[in-house]
Structure 1
Amino acid sequence: MTHPHASPIRITRIEAFVFRAPIANPVRTSFGVMTDRPAVLVRAEDSDGAFGWGEVWCNFPSCGAEHRARLIDTVLAPLLVQQWFEAPEAAFRHLSEETAVLAIQSAEPGPIAQAIAGVDLALWDLCARRAKTPLWQFIRGQAPDTQPARISVYASGINPDHPERTAERAWEAGYRAFKLKIGFGRDRDLANLTAMRSRLGAGIPLMADANQGWSLEEALRMLPDLEPFDLCWLEEPLRADRPWDEWAQLRMRSGIPLAAGENLASPVEFTQAIATRQLSVLQPDAAKWGGISGCWPVIQATRAAHLLYCPHYLGGGIGLLHSAHLLAAAGGRGMLEIDSNPNPLRSLLAGPLEQISDGKATLGSAPGIGFEPELASLASMRQVH
């Protein structure tokens, strides 16, 4: 796939920047805890001086941000600088092919794919800015116009400690859909879901994310207890690498829609996920695998299969903006995941996504992702890598 409005790029500079924001309360999942909020931003520049910004997924392990930035500096940048590419997709293919053996030899396919994804996002932003087109319209292949995009959002990352209080704050901030983290033991999970549903009331969209926290047997035992909460979806009740026949058993035993995709990392895996029809909601994370070049064909296939596309995202504001533009380009009933936990690297970099009204956000008509980070304002969080 080559974008219809793309023009050749000669890349002259690729830079990675690492940031860490201290937080008062750790972010808890069923598999680990985040004691600070990291971000790896990527800036790409071409021979005409056009530039774009991307972001690399780097939440885990805790040392991951610096490592991924070094992969960009030492592996990816030398493969791109002073090279011509007809479009971002061509650069994505080049990076993927040239690092395929290295990913096997180093046993690091994930970190390398994440670094490539962040570079790809930066190149798409660069091309959209150069075309003076909002990224979501550029992805669609549309000419620039002033039409704003309005997308649905939900408050995510709601921790197991008094989640109803977090939901109440998010409601006051304009959110009208919510996702709770579960996988912390049956009694605690059910008490938290009860508190959430009691505070929100019937009919308000509520989702639950087990973060791969259960075996098949544990998930099957939990399903009947989850039925009364009228969940829009149950996310990753099983490990992402479990066979699809296990997901089929869950689907047969419950009417709760199943969601996954943030931990799938190849076209083959996404093709299988769509073909099996066990998932109702597909959630690729463009900063974790694929960028836009890899994820856009997956999103189109998801929509063609009449599945719900809801981008996964839990990082800084630049990747969140890219996810928002992907959702706007896709159309449909999907919702954008926005972390409910304090994170300066999100709030300072998310631009229009900091303003939520009646469960929706509006993307402006500025070119690209519509926002340029001011690195000076982030200096206190900058890390040497």
Structure 2
Amino acid sequence: MQALTTGRIEQVALHVLRAPIEEPVRTSFGTMTDRPSVLVGVTDHEGASGWGEIWCNYPVCGAEHRARLAAEVVAPQLVGRSFDDPSAAQRFLVQATRVLALQTREFGPLDQVLAGVDIALWDLAARRQGRPLGEVLAGGPVASRIPVYASGINPHGAVTTLQRARASGFDAFKVKIGFEAGQDRRTIAALLAERGDQEHLMADANQAWSLPEARAMVADLRGSGLEWLEEPMPVDTPVADWRALAACSAIPLAGGENLASVAGFDAAAEAGLLSVIQPDLAKWGGFSACLPIARRVLEAGRRYCPHYLGGGIGLIASAHALAAVGGDGRLEVDCNPNPLREQLATPFPGIANGAMELPSGPGLGVVPDGAALRDWETLCLTA
């Protein structure tokens, strides 16, 4: 078998894309008025290429900031170098940016840049082998279909959105809550009434509540049959409060998109604070850090359900991660209109009967459509 090398990196390109949307995407902490994406393209000395995606949903200026960090700080560290495998590149880049992160306190943006670069390097390495990325990550064959759920359901028009997602092939749905308590209860009640016998419903509060508020909500929702309640409290809430909430909640608690350390994930899994653990590989760690964590999550008897809300490259990367790790987790698929999802990952896989087809071509098995890059690109930087 060909070694899992990156080849000598000849070029790194950063593409910032923005697509307008009619209906904003609302959360308890902010609103997205367009759909942004930062793509990373890496090319080696033999002309092989790989694609990654950097999380950039917030703040409004986040995409451009992360692209410049990637182009001006990280990419020059890669060009002209080769690595025995993508994890070696990740370790090198973490060390190379360590002092800058301490000096600037830009831990989050740098983590996100390194995560997107890691995805691109794994895609490149798998393409060099001519094998699907999920198979490379797993060390053997993986499932061809991945369970999915529709996320990003706003309170306004939630029932209509669920119906539209159902017609698109979904049988599991996650609604945004964490706004006003009465509104949250009405939204969940309406969706529970609409939910079919074989369908699943989850709720995401996006870190909105204090412990007393979260306790009141889980008491109201006892017996609802929600599959999980996601991020009911801020990620930095004291562990004692998380233990108290977990002890009184009949609904499994979920979270992880805002954890950003191996120790944090291990503690969440081992202490039993979260039943469903959701690292976002475009936000922190890439494949190199998130896959070992996901495997330990399963070993601890928890569910691994990758978090994701962005463009198509990061979504398909998350699908390969879930396929490689296995378990009974679901892949998050934003059900709101977003041309940067389908057009940046072609051919986009189909969804039917609650599952997505895993692309079977080399690497991620998808590439951005060139016309889409031209249509939506607002900034391109190369190193």
Same fold (TM over 0.5): yes
Counterpart amino acid of 2:165? A
The ranges of structure 1 where at least 4 consecutive aligned residues each deviate by more than 6 angstroms after the TM superposition are none
Alignment of 1:1-385 (within 5 A): 5-7=3-5, 9-142=7-140, 149-351=144-346, 354-384=349-379
In 1, Cα distance between the equivalents of 2:345 and 2:221? 34
* Separation in structure 2 between the aligned mates of residue 7 and residue 101 of structure 1, nearest angstrom: 27
Conserved 8 A contact 1:148-1:365? no
Please say if residues 76 and 95 of structure 1, whose CA atoms lie closer than 8 Å, have aligned partners that are also in contact: yes
1:130-175 deviation per Cα after TM superposition (whole angstroms, max 9, x unaligned):
1111110011123xx7x76111000001001020100000001110
- For 2:207 and 2:349, the matched residues in 1 are separated by 29
Whole-angstrom CA distance in 2 between matches of 1:383 and 1:353? 23
Asked if the contact 1:251/1:278 (under 8 Å) is kept, the reply is yes
**1-side partners of 2:143 and 2:236: how far apart?**
39
Letter in 2 for 1:337: E
**TM-score normalised to structure 2 length:** 0.96
**Residues of 1 paired with 2:349 and 2:134: CA distance?**
18
- Using the size of structure 1 for normalisation, the TM-score is 0.96
CA distance in 2, matches of 1:88, 1:384: 26
1:44–1:53 CA contact under 8 A, matched in 2: yes
Deviation per CA, 1:281-339: give whole Å up to 9, x if none: 00000000000011111111111112100000000000000000000111111000000
Percent identity between the aligned chains? 52
Q: CA deviation digits over 1:82-129, x for unaligned, max 9?
A: 012111001100111111111111111000010000000000000111
Structure 1 residues 19 and 218, CA gap change in structure 2 (3 angstroms): same
2: CA distance between counterparts of 1:8 and 1:211?
Answer: 37
CA offsets, 1:2-49, max 9 Å, x none? Answer: x99513531111111000000001000000000000000000111111
Distance 1:371 1:53, change over 3 A: same
- How many positions carry a matched residue from both structures? 380
Letter in 2 for 1:121: I
- Report if aligned partners of 1:23, 1:36 keep a CA contact under 8 Å in 2: yes
Distance of 2:5 and 2:374 partners within structure 1: 34
The residue type equivalent to 1:15 in the other structure is A
Does the aligned pair in 2 maintain the 1:158–1:181 contact within 8 Å? yes
Give, in whole Å, the separation in 2 of the partners of 1:359 and 1:353.
16
Q: Give the Cα–Cα distance (whole angstroms) in 2 for the partners of residues 300 and 105 of structure 1.
A: 33
Over the aligned positions, Cα root-mean-square deviation in angstroms equals 1.6
**What is the letter of the counterpart of residue 249 of structure 2?**
S
Instruction: Give me the whole-angstrom Cα distance separating, in 2, the residues matched to 1:340 and 1:372.
Output: 21
Residues 167-191 of structure 1, C-alpha deviations (whole Å, 9 max, x = no match): 0000011100000000111111111
Distance 1:242 1:352, change over 3 A: farther
Q: What letter matches 2:99 in structure 1?
A: V
- Could you tell me whether the CA contact under 8 Å between 1:244 and 1:276 is conserved in 2? no
Question: What is the distance in 1 between the residues matched to 2:3 and 2:298?
Answer: 23
Distance 1:176 1:75 in 2: 43
1:194, CA displacement in angstroms? 0.9
Contact 2:269 2:275 in 1 (8 A): no
**Secondary structure in 2 matching 1:9:** coil
Give the 3 Å change call, closer, same or farther, for CA 245–203 of structure 1 in structure 2: farther
For 1:116, the aligned partner's letter is L
Is the 1:4–1:141 Cα contact (8 Å) retained in structure 2? no
Range moving further from structure 2, 373-382 or 252-261: 373-382
- SS of 1:227's partner is coil
Paired AA for residue 253 in structure 2: L
| Paired residues of 1:164 and 1:196 also in contact (CA < 8 A) | yes
Name the SS for the 1:41 alignment partner: strand
Q: Does the CA-based 8 Å contact 1:353-1:361 persist in structure 2?
A: no
**Distance in 1 (alpha carbons) for counterparts of 2:23 and 2:238:** 35
Structure 2 portions without partners, runs of 5+: none
Contact 1:21–1:38, Cα closer than 8 Å, also in 2: yes
Q: CA deviation at 1:228?
A: 3.3
Q: Which amino acid aligns with 1:131?
A: Q
Give structure 1 stretches of 5+ with no counterpart. Answer: none
CA distance in 2, matches of 1:56, 1:375: 19
